[in-house]
Amino acid sequence: MEEQSAPVVELQETLTEAAVVEVVGASAVGDGLRLTLEVDGEPLTIAAEGVAVVEGDLGAAKRNAKGLRGRYNRYKRPQELSVKELKERNLPLYWNERWLRNELKRLGSYAEIARVHGFPSAVTIASFAKRKFGIEIQKGYELKRRGVYEDFDSGRYTHPELARKHGVAEATVYRWLRERREGKLRPARRGRRSKDHG
């Protein structure tokens, strides 16, 4: 039997003696694996080379794994995680208030943030932002939209100039103008539809 190095023995003892060891992130690195663990609440990142499944059924483990909602729900105060921690744990970056505010300023809308970063739902981002950070951008959006329409109709501004002037992403300007052209204007207020609207 091969003798183990002191760090490997210490790691093995730590993991064996811990009350709770949880994998909070994993990424492939060449032929190896980089694991981010929480050992009794203490973060620990390890790298392993030449990883192989030596016991168990990986397919069954994958099928039985909790979905994202189950994974996300175990974080009690996700907004306290840094961008680096969110990336390491493969969690949504919009959980970080500074990152979210910067992206709102840069891109102009939750829809753009979702599109650019591959998040499945702008509504989820907006709901989280309102609930955790008190951010509500919808109120000012109708004013911005009307301002874009007025300035566009004047013929004095390009699309990029409209985006900069009104603090929205260029793609948002294009989308608003397309929606107006196609008659797909969204109502200014959200609410329940009456029965005669289907």
3-class secondary-structure state, position 194: coil
Torsion of CA 56, 60, 61, 66, to 10 degrees: -160
Q: Tokens for 50?
A: 């030449």
User: Rounded to an integer, what distance in angstroms lies between the CA atom of residue 157 and that of residue 160?
Assistant: 8
Give the confidence band of 196 by pLDDT, cuts at 50, 70, 90: very low
| pLDDT for res 39 | 79
Per DSSP, what are the bridge partners of residue 38? 22, 43
User: Rounded to an integer, what distance in angstroms lies between the CA atom of residue 90 and that of residue 78?
Assistant: 12
3-class secondary-structure state, position 131: helix
Mean pLDDT of the chain: 80
| pLDDT for res 195 | 43
User: Rounded to an integer, what distance in angstroms lies between the CA atom of residue 190 and that of residue 182?
Assistant: 20
Q: Is the pLDDT of residue 192 over 50?
A: no
Going by DSSP bridges, is the β-strand pair 42-48/21-29 parallel, antiparallel, or unpaired?
Answer: unpaired
What is the tens place of the pLDDT at every residue in 131-159?
Answer: 888 887 766 778 888 899 999 999 999 99
Per DSSP, what are the bridge partners of residue 34? 27, 47
Provide the whole-model pTM: 0.46
What is the tens place of the pLDDT at every residue in 60-101?
Answer: 777 666 555 556 666 777 788 899 988 887 889 999 999 999
Q: Tokens for 51?
A: 């990883």
User: Rounded to an integer, what distance in angstroms lies between the CA atom of residue 93 and that of residue 113?
Assistant: 10
Q: Is the pLDDT of residue 190 over 70?
A: no
